[in-house]
Structure 1
Amino acid sequence: MITERIWSYPPQCAYSEGQDLTGYAVEATDGTIGHVDRQADDSGMRHLIVDTGVWVFGKSVLVPAGVVTGVDTQAQKITVVCTRDEVKSAPLFKTDRETQDPAYLERVGSYYQSLPPRQPA
């Protein structure tokens, strides 16, 4: 079952309500993932759509807000608690229709919640 936590920004990450993260670089624990193409803050299942560029063959990935560990507005950078491989192994994101599909969101939330716990960098 998906908990609210995976779809909400952690209080310690420095996200400000209503903040536009479009264009921010996204850093995993072991390197850059890509940049925020768009974000969803209005659905109760907050997430980022991250354009990975050529790193994952030009695909985008859906990253739940709950894995964000930091938002640096000066550097325009977001850090996440997972590795590049963990993001790459998440359920495949193809189109925006999936952001409205409860079964897809359930799979994404369950996947990220199943990752080994670790402390933010």
Structure 2
Amino acid sequence: MTEHVWSYKPTAGHLAGTELTGYKVEAVDGSIGKVDKHSDEAGDAYLVVDTGVWIFGKEVLIPAGAVVRIDPDERKVFVDRTKEQIKNAPEFVRDTHLHDPDYRHQLGNHYGLGGPFGPIV
């Protein structure tokens, strides 16, 4: 069974109610920015990451299913995607994409994540 793309993996170490805003976000090949907003709502969990100057101040939406580990001591969130994959994700516009099912399908396809709102087959 495929993990739900909009839920944290049980092994990620996420505790519901934990405030992740301000945590640094680490891709498999380096730092990509900081958490600007997050949701840990069941079935609708995600990170909005401010990439700062790395990709010219762009915000990106990362489904919680991409989170592999959260380190509260270091205040870091580790995701299982590369900086290039994140940089090339479909453009995120906070006001329109946060709860847009079409955008979520695009994002699931881009990241190759399965489950609801994951790849369209």
Q: TM-score, normalised by structure 1?
A: 0.86
Q: TM-score, normalised by structure 2?
A: 0.86
Partner Cα distance (1:74, 1:4) in 2: 26
Q: Deviation at 1:105?
A: 1.1
Indicate if the aligned counterparts of 2:3 and 2:9 stay in contact, CA closer than 8 A: no
Q: How many residues align?
A: 112
- Cα distance 1:43–1:17, how it changes in 2: closer, same or farther (>3 A)? closer
Q: Identity of aligned pairs, percent?
A: 46
Higher helix share: 1
CA deviation profile, 1:44-73 (whole Å, cap 9, x unmatched): 221100000010111100000001011000
Q: Deviation at 1:4?
A: 5.6
Q: Which moved more, 1:61-70 or 1:11-20?
A: 11-20
Partner Cα distance (1:109, 1:46) in 2: 13
Indicate if the aligned counterparts of 2:4 and 2:43 stay in contact, CA closer than 8 A: no
RMSD after superposition: 1.5
Alignment of 1:1-121 (within 5 A): 5-42=4-41, 44-113=43-112
Partner Cα distance (2:109, 2:33) in 1: 22
Partner Cα distance (1:100, 1:17) in 2: 20
Q: What runs of 5+ residues in structure 2 fail to find an aligned partner?
A: 114-121
- Cα distance 1:18–1:39, how it changes in 2: closer, same or farther (>3 A)? same
Q: What runs of 5+ residues in structure 1 fail to find an aligned partner?
A: 115-121
Q: Secondary structure of 2:4's partner?
A: helix
Q: Deviation at 1:41?
A: 2.4
Letter of the 2:105 counterpart: E
CA deviation profile, 1:6-55 (whole Å, cap 9, x unmatched): 11111111101111110000000111000000012236221100000010
Q: Secondary structure of 1:82's partner?
A: coil
Indicate if the aligned counterparts of 2:59 and 2:92 stay in contact, CA closer than 8 A: yes
Indicate if the aligned counterparts of 2:26 and 2:79 stay in contact, CA closer than 8 A: yes
Hey, which bits of structure 1, 4+ residues long, moved more than 4 A?
none
